[in-house]
Amino acid sequence: MDTSSYLKAQARIPFRRYFLPRNSSKENLDRFIPNRSAMDFDYAHFALTEGREAKEEEVSPSREAYRKQLAEALNLNRTRILAFRNKPSTSVPKDHSASSSSLHYQRFQPLRPPRRIPQGSERTLDAPGFMDDIYLNILDWSSSNVVAVALDKSVCLWDASTGSVTELVRYGEDKGPVTSVNWAHDGVNLGVGLKNGEVDIWDCETKSLMRTLGGCHHEPVGSLAWNSHILTSGGMDGRIFNRDVRIRSSVVATYKGHTGEVCGLKWSGSGERLASGGRDNLVHIWDRSSSTQWLHRLRGHTSGVKALGWCPFQTHLLASGGGEEDGKIKFWNTQTGACLNSVDTGSQVSCLLWSNKERELLSSRGSQLTLWKYPSMVKMAELSGHESSVVSMSQSPDGCTVVSAAGDERLMFWNVFGVPGTAQKPVPKGSHEPFSHVARSIR
Residue 205, pLDDT > 80, answer yes
**What's the confidence (pLDDT) of residue 43?**
60
pLDDT tens sequence across 357-400:
899 999 998 899 999 999 999 999 999 999 999 999 999 999 99
Residue 326, pLDDT > 50, answer yes
pLDDT tens sequence across 210-243:
999 998 999 999 999 999 999 999 999 999 999 9
Q: How confident is the model at residue 289 (pLDDT cuts 50, 70, 90)?
A: confident
Q: How confident is the model at residue 92 (pLDDT cuts 50, 70, 90)?
A: very low
Residue 325, pLDDT > 70, answer yes
Q: How confident is the model at residue 441 (pLDDT cuts 50, 70, 90)?
A: very low
Phi/psi of residue 331, nearest 5 degrees: -115, 130
Residue 275, pLDDT > 60, answer yes
Residue 437, pLDDT > 50, answer no
Question: Whole-angstrom Cα distance, residue 411 to residue 27?
Answer: 92
- Among 276, 336, 341, smallest CA distance to 310 is for 276
Q: What number of CA atoms fall less than 13 Å from residue 179's CA on the CB side? A: 25
- 284, with CB counted inside 10 A (0-12, 13-18, 19+), is buried
* Partners of 189 in the β-ladder: 203
Q: How confident is the model at residue 438 (pLDDT cuts 50, 70, 90)?
A: very low
The pLDDT mean for the chain works out to 82
Phi/psi of residue 407, nearest 5 degrees: -70, -5
- Among 240, 244, 301, smallest CA distance to 265 is for 240
To the nearest whole percent, how much of the chain has pLDDT over 90?
65
Asked if residues 354 and 319 have their Cβ atoms less than 8 Å apart, the reply is: yes
Selected residue with higher pLDDT from 40 and 417? 417
Selected residue with higher pLDDT from 53 and 47? 47
Selected residue with higher pLDDT from 90 and 407? 407
**What's the confidence (pLDDT) of residue 36?**
58
For the whole model, what pTM was predicted?
Answer: 0.71
pLDDT tens sequence across 139-197:
999 999 999 999 999 999 999 999 999 999 999 999 999 999 999 999 999 999 999 99
Question: Whole-angstrom Cα distance, residue 38 to residue 86?
Answer: 5
Residue 327 gets the label, from left (phi > 0), alpha (psi -120 to 50) or beta, of: left
**Cβ-proximal residues to 252 (8 Å cutoff; 6+ apart), any chain:** 230, 242, 243, 244
Question: Whole-angstrom Cα distance, residue 394 to residue 160?
Answer: 13
Selected residue with higher pLDDT from 415 and 21? 415
Phi/psi of residue 232, nearest 5 degrees: -100, 135
Residue 20, pLDDT > 50, answer no
Residue 402, pLDDT > 50, answer yes
**Cβ-proximal residues to 118 (8 Å cutoff; 6+ apart), any chain:** 414, 415, 416
Question: Whole-angstrom Cα distance, residue 200 to residue 71?
Answer: 87
Q: How confident is the model at residue 272 (pLDDT cuts 50, 70, 90)?
A: very high
Q: How confident is the model at residue 14 (pLDDT cuts 50, 70, 90)?
A: very low
To the nearest whole percent, how much of the chain has pLDDT over 70?
69
**What's the confidence (pLDDT) of residue 365?**
85
Q: Please report, as a single letter, which amino acid is at residue 142.
A: S
